[in-house]
Amino acid sequence: MSVYRKKMKLYIYYMLVFTLLFVLVSKEVQAAPSVSAQRAILMDGETGRVLFEKDAHSTSRIASITKIMTAVLAIESGKMDEKVTVSPNAEGTEGSSLYLKAGEKIKLEDLVYGLMLRSGNDSAVAIAEAVGGSLEGFVHLMNQKAAEIGMKNSHFSNPHGLDDHEDHYSTAYDMALLTKYAMENEHYKKISGTKVHTAPNPEEKWDRKWKNKNRMVTELYKHSTGGKTGYTKRAKRTLVSTASKDGENLIAVTLNAPDDWNDHIGMFEYGFEQFDYKTVLEDGIIKKFDDEFYKGRIYVKRDVIMSLKDEEDQLVRIEYKMIKPQQEWRNKEKIPDVVGKAVIYLDDKEVDSLPVFFKSEKEPQEEKSWWKFWAYSFEAFLGVSQHG
């Protein structure tokens, strides 16, 4: 009997160990999200780090997520309060529509709301003509802005994303870059995350009321902060989403995704669970530096914050590339402001860099004049002068 019990205890022990290992391995395997999308990416909205990707650099048709670029250019034009006269060309645009009428005047800001919330193709053309002077002029601005942002595998041929040109395409990565740039603009951020917008309609007795088509914003995901939907027969379903939780900001993009809502929710949950913001270098004096000349005198002007998994802390390395102190630096006025740079590596891959500044000591005479200034100001405040 005792032998039997020992065998049973041993059996139970091995089963518990096996079960625990299975759970741990399964959790690790399931940590990365599974997506229906042909191409997808999850990007940290602050640092730009890619947290998950699936064929994110291959070009695809992008449909109406094109309108993120159109909205950005409209907002940056400085004309949001101006009235736009709708052209016959805009009125006749096919596909999703705000049902604008040729000759009517509508505020550019309202056109951008209609563009982002209802995906109005007529609105896209009206915006393009108002901001770029013509469709061709606006397309030039779109590609110019794409190059400025760093969208290396993108080309725009229209302001709405319809399949009317063969050379209109982007990638999941480039669209995430564009969204990261767009979300730095408070006006865009507000419009993108709006659930319902009301716009005056002088032609009718009622105002226009547009509900956002993006179900991530309106009903599906409580942490959603905005985004843009898209669909054409050739591009299939495309979606850009942004979400924020506990100060962490994420961007998700899917191209040709049959189950895009769940794709985005799954990616966001993965990002929020697996990654946290961590400060790897604080602004101010660099304390961990042993060089006799530089010690206590060099500093950086911003924090370096990274989105990291818990186990990645030990993979972060900072390398300081400094100018060798020169003979003429004995004269402190000869020391340059920037004396090097701090390069941040994650697992030996460079992820950030920033200039290192030299802190010059204040001359006593300067400090004296500083205090004289405040002493004089204080006396003036009290109504005291040198002549009493």
Residues annotated as catalytic (active site), given as ranges:
64, 67, 119
User: What are the tokens at 26?
Assistant: 């399964």
Residues of 9-27 as b/e, b for ≥16 C-beta within 10 angstroms?
A: eeeeeeeeeeeeeeeeeee
Decide if 143 contacts 135 (C-beta within 8 A). Answer: no
3-state SS class at 362: coil
Cα–Cα distance between 196 and 65 in angstroms, integer? 19
Q: At CB < 8 A and 24+ separation, what contacts does 55-58 make?
A: 55/172, 56/171, 56/172, 56/173, 56/176, 56/253, 57/153, 57/171, 57/172, 57/173, 58/171
Cα–Cα distance between 120 and 318 in angstroms, integer? 48
Q: What is the DSSP letter of 118?
A: S
Residue 125's closest CA among 147, 96, 146? 96
Q: What is the largest CA-CA distance in the chain?
A: 111
3-state SS class at 35: coil
The alpha carbon of 91 is separated from its chain's Cα centroid by a whole number of angstroms, namely 33
Write phi, then psi, for 381 (nearest 5 degrees): -65, -40
Torsion of CA 230, 232, 237, 243, to 10 degrees: -10
Angle at 193 between CA 190 and CA 196, to 5 degrees: 100
Cα–Cα distance between 143 and 69 in angstroms, integer? 9
Q: Beta partners for 100? A: none
Q: End-to-end alpha-carbon separation of the chain, Å? A: 109
Q: What is the DSSP letter of 326?
A: P
